[in-house]
Chains A and B, each alone.
Chain A
Amino acid sequence: MIKFRALWYYLTRYMDGLLLAGILLLMLTGLIVLYSATGANLSRVSTQATNMLVALVIMWLVANIPLQQIMRIALPMYLFGICLLIGVALFGEIQNGARRWLDIGITRIQPSELMKLAVPLMMAWYFDKYEITLRLRDYLGATLLLLFPVLLILRQPDLGTALLIAASGFYVLFLAGLSWRVIAGLAIAGAASVPLFWSFMQDYQRQRVMTLFDPSQDALGAGYHTIQSNIAIGSGGMVGKGWLNGTQTQLDFLPERSTDFIFAVFSEEFGLIGNVLLLTLYLIVIARCVIITANASTQFTRLIAGSITLTFATYIFVNMGMVSGILPVVGVPLPLLSYGGTSMVSMLLGFGILMSIQTHPKLVKT
C-alpha cells in the first residue's frame, strides 16, 4: 500500500490534474470517432491508442524535466533543426511534389515537425537572454530566428507548417511585448504583400485558396474535400446521425476522414450539440493552459507557455475552419483527435512543457 502510494506520487508529482483530464477526455473522444471513421477497424484504433500512450509517456518525461534543463537544449535543438532543414533542401526526398522528408539511414524524419517546438523555444530563450534591454533591434533578431526556418519550410513547399511555425513565433514576439505600432505596421505590410505572396505561391496552393471561395468550381478535384466535409457537417444537423451512422463517413464520401478531416466525422455523427461540447472541452484545456501561462514565473516559461497555448488554439481553429469551409485546405491535423503519431507526440511535448512549468517549484520574487 505504501509502495503503491509512493508509485502514485512518483507518477503524478509533475502532472497537472485538470490539464491531464482534458487531454485524456479528448483522446478518448478521438478513439471513439476514429473507430467510426475507420469503419470499425480495431487495429487502426489500437495503433492510435499506442501512439497516444507513447505520447503520454513522452509528456510525462518532459513534465519531469525542470524548465532550466529544457531551456538549455533550446539553442542546440534549434541549430540541429536548421541543419536538418538545410539537409532537406539539399538531399531531401521528394514525395507528392514536395521535399519534406530526410532519410537519415535508420528512419525518415520530417524536420519541420521538430521546428514547431524548436522555433518558439529558441525565441523564448532569446528573449529571456536579452530580457533587460529589449529594444527594437532585439525583436529584429528574433524575427530573423523565426524567418530563416519558415522560409526554408516554405520552399519545400509546406505552406501549412510554415504558417503555423510563423504563428507560433509571432506569438512569442507578441507576448514578449512587440510594440503595437510595429504590429500594426506588419499587418499593413502583410496586407500589401498579398499580391506578391500570391505570385510566389505554387499552383496547387493557389488552387486551394481559390476553391475556398468557390468549392464547386473544382467539385471533383481540389473542391471535393471541402464540399464533402460541408455536406457531412451540415447533414449532421442539431443532434447528428448517431455514432457509426454518418452516411458521408460510412459510405466513403468523406476523404481523409481519420486524419485531417476527422472533425467532419465527429460533426456528422454528433451534430451541433457534439460540436459545442467538443469546442467547450477544447476551451477548458486552453483556459487551463492560459492560467498556467499567467502563473509562469520567468520570461522564458511565460513566453514558451503562451506560444504553446496559442498555437494549440490556432491548430484547432485552422483545422475546424478548413473542414467547415471557411479556411483553405492546408494539411493541419485536429490536435488530439486526428490519427497520427507525430502530431500527437508534438502536441503532448508542448503539454509536458506546460506541466513542467506548472508543477516544478516556481522561483518566487525575491
Chain B
Amino acid sequence: MKPTVELINHPQELHDFQVRLMIGAGIVLFLFSILFTRFYYLQVTQRDHYHTLAEANRISIFPLVPNRGLIFDRNGEILAQNFSAYTLEIQPSKVPDLDTSLDELSTIIEITSKDRERFKKLMKESRRFKSLPIRTRLSDEELARFAANRYRFPGIEINARILRHYPHGESLSHVVGYIGRINDNDLEQLENNKTLDNYRGSQHIGRIGIEQSFEQELHGTTGFEEVETDAAGRSVRVVSHTPPIPGNNLTLSIDIGLQEVAIKAFGGRRGALVAIEPTSGDILAFVSLPGFDANLFIGGIDHENWDLLNNSIDRPLNNRALRGLYPPGSTFKPFMALAALELEERSAQESMYDPGYFSLPGSKRRYRDWKLDGHGMVDLHKSLVVSCDTYYYVLANDLGINKINHFVSQFGLGKKTGVDIFGEADGLLPSPEWKMRRHKQQWYAGDTISVGIGQGYNLTTPLQLAFATTILANKGRAFRPHFVKQIHNNKTGNLKKMTISPAYELNIKPEHMELVHQALIDVTRTGGTAERAAKGAAYTFAGKTGTSQVINIKQGERYIESQVQERHRDHALFIGYAPADKPSIALAVLVENGGHGGAAAAPIARQIMDYYLLGKLPDSSNIEIIQDTEQHEHDHEHLHAHH
C-alpha cells in the first residue's frame, strides 16, 4: 500500500467541507419532511376525496331498464305487451359518412327508404351520442349476415331491446295510446319532476292515452349494475346488481270484444261511441273512428305514414270520444224535461199544441220543428217519444238560460268528466256570462231557444253524453267514468282495485225520474224515434235519438239530406241504457254526418247492447242464457239485413 497522491489536508478546509456536507444533509432532511407533509396531506387529510375519485374511476353504473307494465282488458285479454327483439342501431357520432354507411349496410340488410327517413327524423330529435334504431325485429339470417360483416361498420351495432306491441293497436289506439322515443322535451320535464334518474337507460315514454296518463305506474323502477371498469372502459367484474322492478300491470274496464263489435257496427263511418257501466263508471267501450295503428308510433313514425294520418280529412288522430265537440241535439231533451219537472215549469199532464214552429213574441222568425206540420197536442211524455222540437222551444223560453244552465250542468254536460286519461275537452253549456266573456255580446232570447233542443252554442263530447246518460240510468247517482279497474303491483304482488263510489248524487224526485225513464223506454217502442232499431230486442231499453246540425239552415229553407254534401250532413246521435229496469250498460253514439239519430246511431247502440247483454256468459252459466245467446245471434242477422 503506497500513497500515490500527496495529501495536503488543511484542517480549516476539511472543517468547511464537513459543515457544507451537513448543510446539504440538513437540506435533504428538510426536503424529505416536505415529502412527508405532502403524503400526509394526500393520504390522511384528503384521503376521502381521493378515495371517492378512485371509486369514480373504477366503478361505472349501468342502468337496467325495467319491463313496462302490461295492459289488459277487463277479461284479461292483453292490450299492450312487450317482446324482445334485435334492433340494428347506429350511433351517428361514430359514423363519419352516414349515407355511404347506410348504402353499404343495405347491401346486407334490407333498409327501406322509409326506414331511412324515420332514422333521419330520429337523428334530428335526438342527441348525437345516442344509439338510434334503423331497423327492428331483425331475422336470424339478418343477424348472421351483420355479424359476419360487422367489422365494416364501426358505430353500428345490434342490441337486444324490449319493444312494445299493441295486439289491438287499431281498435284501441285512442284509449291505450302509445309510447314514443324520449325527446329533449321529455328529458326536461323528467328533470323538473326529479324523475330523470329513473329514466336512465329508458328509451320510451307514454305519449297519449293510458300509456301517457299512467306512465308512473307502467314505467317501473330502473335497476342498476355497478361494474368495475379499467382505464380503457372494459368491464372487469360486476360489483353490485340491483334488479329493475317491472312496471305495474293495468287492468282496464274496457271489454275488447265489445269494443271491436262497436267498431264493426260503425261500418266504416266516422264517429264515436262511449259505453259505460252505470253502476261503477267502468268504461266498457270507447270508440273514435277512424282510428290508427298505435304500433306505427313506437319506433318513431315515418314521414309517409305521419302525413297520411295528419293530413287526412277524416282526422284519425283526433280522439273524437274524448275531445270531439258536438251539439248534443235532441239527446239534450231528457235533461230539459227533467229541468221542467224539477223546477216545476211543467207538469206531466200539461200539454200544448205544436203547429210545427215557434216564434218569440213580436218576432217573425220561426223556429221550426223537424216535423213540418207539427205534432199536434204534445205533453212531456210525447215530446220525448216523438222528439218534438216546438215543445222544447217553448220550454226553453219559459225556463230561461240561467235555469237551464244551472240544472243541466249537474249532469256533467259542458265540463270535464274527470276521466283518468289526459286531454279531455271541456265542452260548453252556454250562459250569458260566457257569451259576454267570449263574444262580447249580450245574450238574446233566441239563443235560449236553440239551446233548448241541444243546438246553438251547446257543445258536448261523446264521453260527457255517455256520462250524463249513466246518471239518467242510475236515477241520479253519478259514478266518475274511468278506464283503469285495477293495478297489479309487480313489486309487492298487491292488487289495487280502484274504489268505486258515487262521485255525487243528484237530488231529483224519483217520480220525475220515472216519468222521463218511461218516456225513454217508449222512444224504443212503436211510435218512438228509435222504434226500428229496437225491434225484437230481448230486453227493454231506454234511449233518445238526436240529430245535430253541422250547417245552419237559412230561414225559409229546408234541410234536404240528399241535397247536402256528405260532410255537411247532420250528425246522428243516440244515448241509451239497458236493461231499462236495471241498467248495466249506458252509452252515447255519434255518427258524423250520419243523418238521423234513429236511423244511423240507434242501430249501432242496439248491436252493442245485444252483444253486451246477451252475448256474454255469466260465471254461473245455465241453459236459458245459452238459448238467449242463440237468439241474440239471430237478432244480429236480422239487424244486418235491415241496413
Q: Which residues of A contact B (CB under 8 A)?
A: 68, 131-132, 171, 174-175, 177, 228, 230-238, 247-248, 251-253, 267, 271-272, 275-276, 279, 282-283, 286-287, 290, 293-294, 297-298, 302, 306, 309-310, 313, 316-317, 320-321, 324-326, 361, 363, 365-366
**A317 touches which of B7, B35, B50 (Cβ 8 Å):** B35
Provide the residues of chain B in CB contact with A287, threshold 8 Å.
25
User: In chain B, residues 8-26, which have Cβ atoms closer than 8 Å to a Cβ of chain A?
Assistant: 8-9, 13, 16-18, 20-21, 24-25
What residue in chain A is nearest B230 (Cβ atoms)? A251
Shortest Cβ distance from residue B510 to the other chain A in the assembled complex, whole angstroms: 80
* 29 A-B contacts (beta carbon < 8 Å): A68-B5, A171-B24, A174-B20, A175-B20, A177-B20, A230-B42, A230-B50, A231-B54, A232-B54, A233-B39, A233-B43, A234-B43, A235-B51, A238-B47, A247-B54, A251-B230, A251-B231, A272-B39, A272-B44, A275-B43, A279-B36, A282-B32, A283-B29, A293-B21, A297-B7, A313-B31, A317-B28, A320-B35, A325-B42
Q: Do residues B34 and A271 form an inter-chain contact, with CB atoms below 8 A?
A: no
What residue in chain B is nearest A317 (Cβ atoms)? B31
Q: Do residues B5 and A363 form an inter-chain contact, with CB atoms below 8 A?
A: yes
Can you list the 7 inter-chain pairs with the closest CB atoms, starting with the nearest?
Answer: A234-B50, A235-B54, A252-B231, A251-B230, A234-B42, A313-B28, A272-B43
Provide the residues of chain A in CB contact with B36, threshold 8 Å.
275-276, 279
Interface string of B52-67 (1 = CB under 8 A from A): 0111011000000000
What residue in chain B is nearest A234 (Cβ atoms)? B50
What residue in chain B is nearest A132 (Cβ atoms)? B8
Q: Do residues B24 and A326 form an inter-chain contact, with CB atoms below 8 A?
A: no
Q: Do residues A231 and B24 form an inter-chain contact, with CB atoms below 8 A?
A: no
What residue in chain B is nearest A283 (Cβ atoms)? B32
Shortest Cβ distance from residue A267 to the other chain B in the assembled complex, whole angstroms: 7
Q: Do residues B51 and A366 form an inter-chain contact, with CB atoms below 8 A?
A: no
CA distance A290 to B17 in the complex (A): 12
Provide the residues of chain A in CB contact with B25, threshold 8 Å.
286-287, 290
What residue in chain A is nearest B57 (Cβ atoms)? A253
CA distance A276 to B53 in the complex (A): 24
Provide the residues of chain B in CB contact with A366, threshold 8 Å.
7
CA distance A267 to B46 in the complex (A): 14
User: In chain B, residues 461-499, which have Cβ atoms closer than 8 Å to a Cβ of chain A?
Assistant: none
Q: Do residues A235 and B38 form an inter-chain contact, with CB atoms below 8 A?
A: no
Q: Do residues B58 and A267 form an inter-chain contact, with CB atoms below 8 A?
A: no
CA distance A325 to B46 in the complex (A): 14
**A310 touches which of B5, B24, B44, B232 (Cβ 8 Å):** B24
CA distance A190 to B305 in the complex (A): 77
CA distance A145 to B46 in the complex (A): 46
B4 lies within 8 A of chain A by Cβ = yes
Provide the residues of chain B in CB contact with A234, threshold 8 Å.
42-43, 46-47, 49-51, 53-54
Apart from A175-B17, A238-B43, A297-B7, 16 more pairs, CB < 8 Å = A68-B5, A175-B21, A177-B20, A228-B57, A233-B43, A234-B50, A235-B51, A235-B53, A251-B228, A251-B229, A251-B230, A252-B230, A290-B21, A306-B24, A310-B24, A326-B38
CA distance A309 to B25 in the complex (A): 9
Provide the residues of chain A in CB contact with B38, threshold 8 Å.
321, 324-326
CA distance A232 to B57 in the complex (A): 11
What is the interface of chain B mostly: helix, strand, loop, or mixed? helix
Q: Do residues A271 and B31 form an inter-chain contact, with CB atoms below 8 A?
A: no
What residue in chain A is nearest B30 (Cβ atoms)? A317
CA distance A237 to B47 in the complex (A): 6
B236 lies within 8 A of chain A by Cβ = yes
B504 lies within 8 A of chain A by Cβ = no
Q: Do residues A237 and B17 form an inter-chain contact, with CB atoms below 8 A?
A: no
Q: B5, B8, B13, B230 — which one has the most chain A CB atoms within 10 A of its CB?
A: B5
CA distance A320 to B32 in the complex (A): 9
Q: A230, A251, A294 — which one has the most chain B CB atoms within 10 A of its CB?
A: A251
Q: Do residues A68 and B4 form an inter-chain contact, with CB atoms below 8 A?
A: yes
Provide the residues of chain A in CB contact with B46, threshold 8 Å.
234
CA distance A247 to B236 in the complex (A): 11
Q: Do residues B231 and A363 form an inter-chain contact, with CB atoms below 8 A?
A: no
B618 lies within 8 A of chain A by Cβ = no
**A252 touches which of B16, B17, B232 (Cβ 8 Å):** B232
Provide the residues of chain A in CB contact with B39, threshold 8 Å.
233, 267, 272, 275-276, 324
**B43 touches which of A237, A247, A313 (Cβ 8 Å):** A237
Q: Do residues A231 and B53 form an inter-chain contact, with CB atoms below 8 A?
A: yes
Query: A132-B8, A230-B50, A267-B43 given as contacts; is B24 within 8 A of A321 (CB)?
Result: no
Interface string of B220-248 (1 = CB under 8 A from A): 00000000111110001000000000000
CA distance A309 to B22 in the complex (A): 12
CA distance A302 to B14 in the complex (A): 10
B556 lies within 8 A of chain A by Cβ = no
Provide the residues of chain B in CB contact with A302, threshold 8 Å.
17
B1 lies within 8 A of chain A by Cβ = yes
What residue in chain A is nearest B229 (Cβ atoms)? A251
B3 lies within 8 A of chain A by Cβ = yes
**A324 touches which of B35, B47, B228 (Cβ 8 Å):** B35
Q: B29, B42, B47, B51 — which one has the most chain A CB atoms within 10 A of its CB?
A: B42
Shortest Cβ distance from residue B332 to the other chain A in the assembled complex, whole angstroms: 72
CA distance A363 to B5 in the complex (A): 8
Shortest Cβ distance from residue B586 to the other chain A in the assembled complex, whole angstroms: 67
